[in-house]
Amino acid sequence: MRRLRLTLHDQKEAIRSAEQHRDKADLTDVEDVHAPNLLLFPDLQPIGRAFALVQPPSERTASHPEPVKSKEEQVEIIKAEGSRLRECLSDKEEKLRVTEEAGKGKDKRIEELQRLLGGMEQESATLRETIRSREDELCQLQKIREEGHQGQQRSAYKFT
């Protein structure tokens, strides 16, 4: 609104100066009367005695908007979109199912490996205990043998 007022105000001044110019130069051509406005405001176009601000073609709204689609067309579009979304959902559900199954398989394998590891730890503890008892037994046998050698040496000294 403000721009329009300024434009009209500038128009009046431009027209006055143009009329003064016409009186001086005795011009009768309408385009010459509006020339100052066109120089100052290149987007202004004369329409009779008034001016209008003309938008560039890129900024104009379409004079023929897209035709409104019928309800059947809208229903078909919505059905197609629904079908596409159902298919997408189905694909995602399948991927989720496969991922869950893979996760369950991995969980089962982890439990099996943990069970095997527990059994190996138990077997390792049993073997360590067996080795320790055998080492103790070996030490006792070595002591008996040393005592036997010492006893034989004593008896050999007695007889000599």
Domain boundaries, the chain: 2-53
The C-alpha atoms of residue 138 and residue 81 are separated, in whole angstroms, by 84
Q: Which residues, other chains included, contact 69 with Cβ-Cβ below 8 Å and sequence gap of 6+? A: 77
Q: Which residues, other chains included, contact 53 with Cβ-Cβ below 8 Å and sequence gap of 6+? A: 3, 4, 7, 41, 43, 44
Give 135 or 55, the one with higher predicted confidence. Answer: 135
| pLDDT band, residue 150 (cuts 50/70/90) | confident
pLDDT of the residue at 53: 55
| pLDDT band, residue 69 (cuts 50/70/90) | confident
pLDDT averaged over every residue in the chain: 77
Q: Per-residue pLDDT averaged across 85-114, rounded?
A: 97
CA dihedral over 39, 41, 42, 45, signed as positive or negative: negative
Q: Per-residue pLDDT averaged across 101-111, rounded?
A: 97
pLDDT at 28 over 50: no
- Do 34 and 46 contact (CB within 8 A), yes or no? yes
CA distances to 61, 76, 158 from 79, rounded to whole Å, are 31, 5, 117
pLDDT of the residue at 6: 45
The C-alpha atoms of residue 88 and residue 82 are separated, in whole angstroms, by 10
Region of poorest pLDDT, from 27-36, 87-96, 112-121, 143-152: 27-36
pLDDT of the residue at 122: 97
